[in-house]
Amino acid sequence: MTQHLIREAWLEDAIRHLEPVFSKAGYAIPPVKVSCGFPASSSPRTTLGQCWPRERSGGGVNEIFISPKIDDPVQLLDTLVHELCHAIDDCFSGHGEDFKGIAQSVGLEGPARMAHATEELMVRLMMISQKLGPYPHQAIVFPPPKPSNAIRNKAKCGQCGYEVTLLKRWASFGAPICPKDNIRMKEQAGETIENTSEHDSNSVAEKGDKRRTDAKAGKDDIRRAIS
């Protein structure tokens, strides 16, 4: 068992221990930098990991960040495998077919956006975690999200039931005309909307995103981080 004092040292050693998992599947892990940090383009409450494409790194390598929410070594390794699959693909396909092929080959299962270790790979990750020793980090715990107390006014057609939400900035103009029955809709009492979640998450879902323009049209290819 190795004793690590720095989180990044543990993570770098973890990648070395994961190399045989990928090489057995026919993949080589590209040069990467891995750190403990919050995602830049998605909810820190729900995103467990994020990988940035090489074009976004000044060093020309894939940059991987593992959420400070995680301190369990096996869960961390599971997340790291997911992000390394993105690094091999250089985030190009997002959670598309190329990513799915890599993920399944190395032992991930489930929907691509929440792909996680199979039982067989989980056993392997447990063995690796024992070799790595404790992860030198204690998880950051988020406070529960507060209710937003936002009140949304609505308008409803008395004939067909067509309903719309009235923006506060336009509510003073009154209810709109129903597009179906061509009569003025009636305003409804506002309802309080509680903010129970900052992000509609799918576990390790794609909480970063990728925007690509058509290269054939001669436009720039703009890609962002993938988790």
pLDDT of residue 208: 36
From CA 187, how far away is CA 177, in angstroms rounded?
11
β-pair partners for 34: 64
Q: Is 131 left (phi over 0), alpha (psi -120 to 50) or beta?
A: alpha
pLDDT digits (tens, 9 = 90+) for 1-57: 778 999 999 999 999 999 999 999 999 999 999 999 998 877 888 889 999 999 999
Enter the pTM of the model.
0.69
pLDDT of residue 102: 97
The helix (run of H) or strand (run of E) holding residue 165 is strand 163-166
Report H helices in the chain: 7-24, 73-88, 97-106, 119-132
Tokens 């068992």 correspond to what residue? Answer: 1
pLDDT digits (tens, 9 = 90+) for 105-115: 999 999 999 99
pLDDT digits (tens, 9 = 90+) for 162-221: 988 888 777 778 889 999 899 998 888 755 444 433 322 233 333 333 333 333 333 334
CB-neighbour burial class of residue 90 (10 A; exposed 0-12, middle 13-18, buried 19+): middle
Higher confidence at residue 167 or residue 101? 101
Cβ-Cβ contacts under 8 Å for 203 (sequence gap 6 or more): 48, 113, 114, 116
Q: Is the pLDDT of residue 120 over 50?
A: yes
